[in-house]
Amino acid sequence: MSLISWGNYPRTHNSVHELQDIESLKEKLSTDGDFIAFGNGRSYGDSAVSDNIVHTKPYDYFLDFDETNGVLEVRSGALLSDILESVVKRGWFLKVTPGTKLITVGGAIASDIHGKNHHIEGCFSECLEEFTIMMADGEIKVTQKGDELFLATCGGMGLTGVILTAKITLKKINSQFIRQTTIKTKNLKETFAAFEEYKHLPYSVAWIDCLATQENLGKCLLMAGDFADDGDLNYKPKSKLNIPFNFPNFALNKFSVKAFNWLYYAKSPNGVSKQRVHFDSFFYPLDSIRNWNRIYGKNGFTQYQFILPKEGSFDGLEKILTKIAQSGKGSFLAVLKLYGAENENYLSFPIEGYSLALDFKIEEGLFELLDELDEVVNEYGGRIYLTKDVRVSEEVFEKGYSKIDKFRAFRKENNLDEKFNSLQSKRVGI
């Protein structure tokens, strides 16, 4: 059995060890070769791909739940979806969640994931009380905030060991619904103004039309909101649609993307509107479609996600959106978010500013376009998100991460660079 990433690129062969118990894992790590942990396969690139994979998803038991204080202890293979199915009906929710609930807790830690409330709550590591991890020599360590192992592991892309268990704090809620405000903007200036006006709300995210040009460049639908307070906690996950096969490569092109963008933008009322939506629709819209990655065809796709410091975000985004529109390689999934302050973890992605994430099918000329976008990101002091990346160079990557040398030194001092490696870590030199 071989495992591949959600982007279906690159396709590689690997040896897979299913994590069932501690002793067999320790024995496996004592053998020769590189290893990397692989959760539910929702990272987009090659960060969880290596010759030898430790598949952590089977290691998914719930260990303890303090329902009074909202502290949950689970094994690293537990999915966020399983957690929500158990805790929402008890009045709890994840403090920090990404745009999919189909990831493991171990993956959330390794990517130090963030969500629509980073400007308020920060990254996943903020709600992480402690975790256990198996090191290269088989030793199991318990680590907490402030430990160097904590700083290196949260956002460390699985390169410090195999995460085994985690204790996380949850958020108290009194509804499964979100009071959503939708703001329709006409250009990038209005989009930035709307983010600032609604940043008092805990959750905000914008879909942006990346093919719009000139006076409409940067137009968007900004969705901001908070949980309702109606006492409705009777949560039951809904059935899903399914994409049964890979779409033909020609199905996604600048014309189909432009048509989708026009329809999606046009369906929303002008100005400001209010809705009551389920949290699944608000946080995880694509989770309602099984195998949606097949839309991009058999060659796969990649997500290009970058973040720019706040002071240069407007100018940088204006340049990048112009380049994308001119290329015709637009994405119908283009997500803009506002972020709060950077944390102390060595490789965590967020900094205070704005991030844009775009999905592109793998095709001729794409990587050349992304190389051009990299130049703008570097010019404005930004960085690339490793969880979504499959092609960035070492030179471009390390310019964005000021703590990269600390991470490399920690890996070397603990002999982690001799045991835990991925295709990505070798490509970007970490």
Q: Are 169 and 201 in the same domain?
A: no
Structure-token match 């959330």, residue found: 108
Residue-wise pLDDT for 140-178, tens only, equals 999 999 999 999 999 999 999 999 999 999 999 999 999
Asked whether residue 55 is domain-assigned, the answer is no
Same domain, 378 and 345: yes
- pLDDT score of 329: 87
Q: How far apart are CA 203 and CA 374, in angstroms?
A: 28
Q: Is 157 a member of any domain?
A: yes
Do 255 and 124 lie in a common domain? no
Residue 249: is its pLDDT beyond 80? yes
Share of the chain above pLDDT 90, in %: 92
pLDDT value, residue 303: 96
Taking 90 as the threshold, does the pLDDT of residue 204 lie above it?
A: yes
Question: Does residue 394 belong to any structural domain of this protein?
Answer: yes
Q: Please tell me the predicted confidence (pLDDT) of residue 108.
A: 98
Q: Is the pLDDT of residue 330 over 80?
A: no
Mean pLDDT of the chain: 96
Within a domain: 9: no
Q: What is the b/e burial string over 335-350, where b = at least 16 CB atoms within 10 angstroms of the residue's CB?
A: bbbbbbebbebbbbbb
- Which tens digits make up the pLDDT trace of 400-419? 999 999 999 999 999 999 99
Instruction: Assess whether 100 and 207 both reside in one domain.
Output: no
- The pLDDT of residue 250: 81
Comparison of pLDDT for 1 and 355, the residue scoring more: 355
- Average pLDDT of the segment spanning 241-249: 90
**Same structural domain, 355 and 274:** yes
Specify the range with the lowest mean pLDDT, choosing from 115-129, 236-250, 302-316: 236-250
| pLDDT for residue 328 | 87
Q: Is residue 336 part of a domain?
A: yes
State residue 404's pLDDT score. Answer: 97
Residues 71 and 134 in one domain: yes
Greater confidence, 239 or 294?
294
What is the pLDDT, as a whole number, of residue 2?
86
Poorest-confidence range of 111-120, 324-333, 339-348, 410-419?
A: 324-333
Predicted confidence band at 324 (pLDDT cuts at 50, 70, 90)? very high
Average pLDDT over residues 65-76: 98
Q: How confident is the model at residue 334 (pLDDT cuts 50, 70, 90)?
A: very high
Q: Which amino acid is at 180?
A: Q
> Is 395 a member of any domain?
yes
pLDDT of residue 239: 81
Q: Is 413 among the domain residues?
A: no
Of the residues 174, 193, 217, the one at which a domain ends: 174
Token code pair at residue 333: 């999934």
Rounded Cα distance between 297 and 46, Å, is 18
User: What integer pLDDT is reported at residue 333 of this predicted model?
Assistant: 85
The count of structural domains within the chain is 2
Instruction: Quickly list DSSP for 35-96.
Output: EEEE-SS--SSSTT--SEEEE-TT---EEEEETTTTEEEEETT-BHHHHHHHHGGGTEEESS
Write the pLDDT tens digit of every residue in 78-94: 999 999 999 999 999 99
Q: In which band, very low, low, confident or very high, does the pLDDT at 57 lie, cut at 50, 70 and 90?
A: very high
How many angstroms separate the CA atoms of 346 and 154, rounded? Answer: 8
Average pLDDT over residues 236-241: 87
Q: At 104, is the secondary structure helix, strand, or coil?
A: strand
Same domain, 164 and 222: no
Of 174, 209, 242, the residue at which a domain comes to its end is 174
Range of the domain at 206: 177-399
Task: Write the CATH number for 113.
Answer: 3.30.465.10
Q: Is the pLDDT of residue 391 over 80?
A: yes
Strands of 325-393, DSSP E: 334-339, 353-361, 383-384
- The C-alpha atoms of residue 305 and residue 300 are separated, in whole angstroms, by 17
Let me know whether 135 and 182 are in one domain. no
- What's residue 342's pLDDT? 98
**Does some domain include residue 373?**
yes
Say whether pLDDT at 74 is over 90. yes
- The predicted model gives 19-29 an average pLDDT of 96
196 and 147 in one domain?
Answer: no
- Shared-domain flag, residues 138 and 210: no
Say if residues 178 and 277 touch (Cβ distance below 8 Å): yes
* CB environment 260-292: b (16+ within 10 A), e (fewer): bbeeebeeeeeeeeeeebebbbbbbeebeeeeb
Summarize the confidence of residues 28-40 as an average pLDDT.
Answer: 95
Q: Averaged over 280-292, what is the pLDDT? A: 96
Same domain for 270 and 194 = yes
Contacting residues for 34 by C-beta, under 8 A, at least 6 apart: 50, 51, 52, 419, 420, 421, 422
pLDDT band at 43, cuts 50/70/90?
very high
Rounded Cα distance, 154 and 267, in Å: 40
Res 331: pLDDT = 81
CATH number of the domain bearing residue 181: 3.30.70.2520
215 with 333, same domain: the answer is yes
Alpha carbons 354 and 339: distance in angstroms, whole number:
6
